[in-house]
């Protein structure tokens, strides 16, 4: 998982606006053609679908469009069967309605905003809730979303809308909703305040077996591949229940997904005020030294450079070279006997946490 390039997102938005103004819904073929007009240099890139999926996600977060729930394709970057562009035909009428609508004090911020119809309708639903549910208790995000909008996933998307949510605007506390991050599997190994997250099951088992008691690692967590971008929020639950984690270190496969996963989890952690998800440097360094290269679709130099920025600076060039030349390194190359043979990876220095009081 990686960040969509801002210029690419803006270019796609412009191309979508140029489509037939009388139509709001675009098929996958139609929005893909708009994307290729915006980024013709990606037409033959093996990462094209990833870039398109991320750009659509960013535009949905901005409130520019809504992606259909039905997906086409497989993998982490499947695409919606269609998208719906918001606010195409009635922006001026909506703006007038917003300006004269009798908002409650909590929602008065909306008066001067250029809201789209879908955003206006969402705020009206919120207004009704605030009027009728002053004594309601807090509910999980999905349950509150279903009550408000008849869609259990709608609120999860709206909270990323910068016009509606933020300081002085909507908050989850106002809606009496709270996040319920899915849990990850983990093993507590002491009072250390470092969490070491391992992408795959075999290496998770070996790290647990090799981890010395002197290590600052107090929790070893199983990332379970792509799931970690969602489950990283569970660190807040651990903290609330008496397991304070001050640093999170991650180790996975050296391939595009193995770098996108922790980079995406790191963004989520920063948004939630949690410790950043950073690489466990000694483990990544050992993987580059001992890994067994296997064939993998090559990555463009631009994408490889972007993905490698999550790694320590001294490892970026070597990692990027593997990605560009079509090689991957499985973390299982650091087998149990290798981990036991050199325990420096489990030290504060090997984990890159010398400044952490653990």
Average pLDDT over residues 301-305: 88
**Token code pair at residue 228:** 């970690």
* Structure confidence at residue 20 (pLDDT): 67
Distance in angstroms between the alpha carbons of the first and the last residue of the chain: 29
Residues of the chain above pLDDT 70, percent? 92
Q: Of 335, 86, 61, which Cα lies nearest the Cα of 204?
A: 335
Phi and psi of 266, rounded to 5°? -65, -40
When pLDDT is averaged across residues 244-265 and rounded to a whole number, the result is 93
**Residue range 311-336: average pLDDT?**
96
Specify whether the CB–CB gap between 46 and 298 falls below 8 A.
yes
Q: Are 227 and 261 in contact (CB under 8 A)?
A: no
Q: What is the pLDDT of residue 355?
A: 53
Check residues 287 and 27 and name the one with the higher pLDDT.
287
The yes-or-no verdict on residue 356 having pLDDT over 60 is no
| Residue 110: strand, helix, or coil | helix
- Model confidence at 42: pLDDT above 60: yes
Cα–Cα distances in angstroms (integers) from residue 208 to residues 9, 219, 335, in the given order = 42, 10, 12
Indicate whether 83 pLDDT > 60.
yes
Confidence of residue 87 (pLDDT cuts 50, 70, 90): low
Give the contacts of 92 (CB within 8 A, at least 6 positions apart): none
Give how far the C-alpha of residue 60 lies from the chain's centroid of Cα atoms, to the nearest Å.
14
Residue 25's beta-bridge partner residues? 84
pLDDT of residue 2 exceeding 70, the answer is no
- Is residue 39 pLDDT above 90, yes or no? no
In this structure, what DSSP letter does residue 329 have? B
Q: Give dist(CA 311, CA 293) in Å, integer.
A: 18
Considering only CA atoms, which of 160, 163, 158, 132 is closest in space to residue 145? 158
pLDDT of 340 above 90: yes
Assign 21 a pLDDT band (cuts: 50, 70, 90).
Answer: low
Q: How far apart are CA 170 and CA 148, in angstroms?
A: 14
Strand partners of residue 84: 25, 66
Q: What per-residue confidence (pLDDT) applies to 350?
A: 97
| pLDDT of res. 150 | 87
What is the mean predicted confidence (pLDDT) over 245-256? 95
- CA 58/CA 130 separation, integer angstroms: 29
């Amino acid at each position: 998982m990686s960040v969509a390039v801002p210029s690419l997102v803006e270019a796609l938005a412009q191309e979508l606006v140029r489509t037939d103004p009388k139509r709001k819904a675009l098929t996958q073929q139609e929005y893909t053609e708009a994307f290729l007009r915006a980024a013709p240099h990606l037409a033959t890139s093996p990462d094209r679908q990833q870039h398109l999926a991320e750009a659509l996600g960013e535009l949905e977060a901005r409130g520019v469009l809504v992606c259909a729930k039905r997906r086409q394709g497989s993998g982490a970057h499947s695409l919606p069967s269609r998208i719906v562009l918001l606010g195409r035909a009635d922006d001026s009428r909506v703006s007038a309605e917003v300006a004269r609508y009798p908002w409650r004090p909590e929602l008065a911020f909306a008066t001067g905003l250029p809201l789209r119809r879908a955003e206006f309708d969402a705020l009206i639903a919120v207004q009704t809730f605030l009027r009728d549910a002053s004594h309601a208790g807090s509910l999980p995000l999905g349950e509150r979303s279903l009550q408000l909008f008849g869609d259990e996933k709608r609120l999860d998307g709206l909270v990323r809308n910068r016009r509606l949510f933020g300081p002085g605007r909507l908050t989850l506390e106002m809606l009496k909703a709270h996040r319920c991050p899915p849990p990850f599997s983990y093993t507590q190994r002491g009072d250390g305040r470092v969490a070491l997250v391992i992408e795959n099951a075999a290496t998770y088992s070996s790290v647990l077996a090799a981890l010395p008691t002197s290590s600052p690692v107090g929790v070893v967590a199983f990332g379970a591949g792509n799931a970690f971008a969602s489950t990283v929020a569970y660190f807040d639950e651990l903290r609330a229940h008496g397991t304070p984690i001050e640093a999170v270190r991650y180790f996975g496969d050296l391939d595009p997904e193995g770098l996108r996963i922790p980079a995406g989890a790191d963004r989520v952690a920063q948004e939630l005020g949690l410790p950043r998800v950073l690489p466990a440097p000694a483990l990544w360094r050992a993987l580059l030294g001992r890994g067994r290269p296997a064939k993998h679709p090559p990555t463009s130099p631009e994408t490889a450079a972007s993905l490698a920025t999550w790694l320590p600076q001294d490892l970026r060039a070597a990692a990027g070279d593997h990605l560009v030349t079509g090689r991957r390194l499985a973390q299982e190359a650091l087998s149990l006997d290798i981990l036991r043979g050199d325990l420096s990876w489990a030290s504060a220095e090997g984990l890159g946490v010398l400044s952490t009081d653990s």
